[in-house]
């Protein structure tokens, strides 16, 4: 089995349009949440979101724009060559081209003809196709719509193909933009906090929605070394499980989530005692955070008492299909810089979340290995294991 490393990383967020500016803002404790302006939804009680400072175009969804920006940053001038059939693109998708379809529908409802060709070419695979076209990739193309675990599952599947020797290069990640349908849906479920979300807090009241994109360039270690690529971290493996419990609520004992983390450690041949960081799903919903902390304890055992946990949802809101990739990007940067980004607004931790959830300020510490979690409706649990790169 090939060792697989991260050799490129692009990040577009509500804090900044680039990796290093976003990371610096996270470590400084800056907040990417603000007044909702992209959508006009005056009847919704929650008017807060994490919005990327880009305006959408009619002929290309915001998802596509963010994904391509992130890809260019991940490539950093590298133009992949060799056998194009051994380059794959793996993407997680949530709303994908839905905002464009919404715009078309609004035109029709207003009595205008609309542009039927726009939604026809803005399906879930549009972003994946655009990335593949940019790369000249002719290998496998995968667009995963597994709700909020989509992009982390995409990373896991990319790792699987590379580790098996089936590919020489893969781009994996996700992009998500705000749209009315998802906003109204989460509001209907009473899962949205009218104020700013507070993961792991005693008084947490739900999530905020956000948008953004992250793209990771993955390749076998030997090829990365041969071309002198910058190596950010090593991908060790991943785990995926189902709760088979409830359409929207996680299992209260965190059983399925714990199995996903345990599986990630087992495939990565990593001991729980080596894990120093968990980039948590951490949505700030009352049901999720306690169950996730319990799952971390189940998976790591006594090692959970010294692990750092953090939630990127406190900076960006919940970016749904992109959330797993954004959490992975933050974990990769934490491994590189040996610093954990903070969980914002964690003033009074919930006793049910009795782990070090990195309240309020970034924390420098030794980070050898990290787990990244992404959980989704239907009880879909994915966990990715990463290790710090310390040289060959």
* Catalytically annotated residues: 148, 281, 318
Burial label for 76, CB within 10 Å (0-12, 13-18, 19+), is: middle
Closest among 210, 173, 174, 148 to 14, alpha carbons compared: 210
CA neighbours closer than 13 Å in the CB half-sphere of residue 42? 0
Which single residue is written with the structure tokens 């001038």? 77
CA separation, residue 219 to residues 5, 162, 168, 232 (Å): 6, 7, 6, 12
The dihedral built from the CA positions of residue 334, 389, 237 and 214, taken in this order, carries a sign that is positive
Burial label for 333, CB within 10 Å (0-12, 13-18, 19+), is: buried
Q: Which residues contact 3 (CB under 8 A, 6 or more apart)?
A: 163, 220, 221, 222, 234
Structural element, H or E, at residue 295: helix 286-300
Helices (H), 143-254: 150-163, 180-188, 221-226
CA distance 172 to 7: 12
77 in Cβ contact with 62 (< 8 Å): no
Q: Give the three-class secondary structure for 43.
A: coil
136 dihedral zone (left: phi>0; alpha: psi -120 to 50; beta): left
Tokens of 366: 């030794």
Report the Cα 244 to chain-centroid distance in Å. Answer: 23
Q: What percent helix, strand, coil does the chain show, rounded to 5?
A: 35, 25, 40
């Amino acid at each position: 089995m090939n060792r697989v490393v991260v050799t490129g990383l692009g990040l577009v967020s509500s804090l900044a349009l680039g990796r290093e500016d976003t990371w610096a803002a996270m470590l400084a404790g800056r907040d990417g949440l603000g007044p909702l302006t992209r959508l006009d939804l005056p009847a919704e009680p929650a008017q807060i979101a994490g919005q990327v400072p880009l305006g959408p175009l009619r002929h290309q969804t915001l998802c596509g724009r963010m994904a391509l920006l992130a890809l260019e940053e991940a490539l950093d001038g590298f133009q992949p060559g060799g056998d194009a059939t051994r380059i794959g693109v793996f993407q997680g998708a949530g709303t994908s081209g839905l905002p464009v379809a919404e715009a078309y529908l609004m035109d029709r409802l207003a009595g205008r003809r609309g542009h039927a060709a726009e939604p026809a070419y803005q399906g879930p695979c549009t972003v994946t196709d655009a990335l593949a076209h940019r790369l000249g990739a002719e290998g496998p193309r995968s667009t995963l719509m597994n709700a909020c675990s989509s992009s982390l599952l995409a990373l896991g599947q990319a790792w699987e193909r590379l580790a098996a020797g089936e590919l020489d290069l893969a781009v994996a990640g996700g992009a998500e933009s705000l749209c009315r349908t998802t906003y109204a849906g989460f509001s209907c479920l009473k899962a949205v906090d009218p104020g700013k979300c507070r993961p792991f807090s005693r008084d947490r009241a739900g999530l905020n929605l956000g948008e953004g994109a992250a793209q990771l360039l993955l390749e076998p270690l030997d090829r990365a070394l041969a071309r002198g690529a910058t190596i950010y971290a090593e991908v060790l493996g991943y785990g995926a499980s189902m709760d088979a419990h409830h359409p929207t609520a996680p299992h209260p004992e965190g059983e399925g989530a714990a199995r996903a983390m345990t599986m990630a450690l087992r495939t990565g041949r990593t001991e729980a005692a080596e894990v120093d960081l968990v980039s948590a799903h951490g949505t700030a919903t009352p049901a999720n955070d306690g169950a996730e902390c319990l799952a971390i304890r189940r998976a790591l055992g006594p090692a959970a008492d010294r692990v750092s946990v953090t939630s990127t949802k406190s900076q960006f809101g919940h970016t749904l299909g992109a959330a797993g990739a954004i959490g992975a990007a933050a974990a990769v940067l934490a491994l590189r810089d040996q610093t954990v980004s903070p969980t914002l607004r964690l003033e009074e931790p919930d006793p049910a979340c009795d782990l070090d959830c990195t309240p309020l300020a970034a924390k420098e510490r030794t980070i050898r290995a990290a787990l990244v979690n992404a959980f989704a409706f239907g009880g879909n649990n994915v966990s990715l294991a990463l290790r710090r790169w310390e040289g060959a």
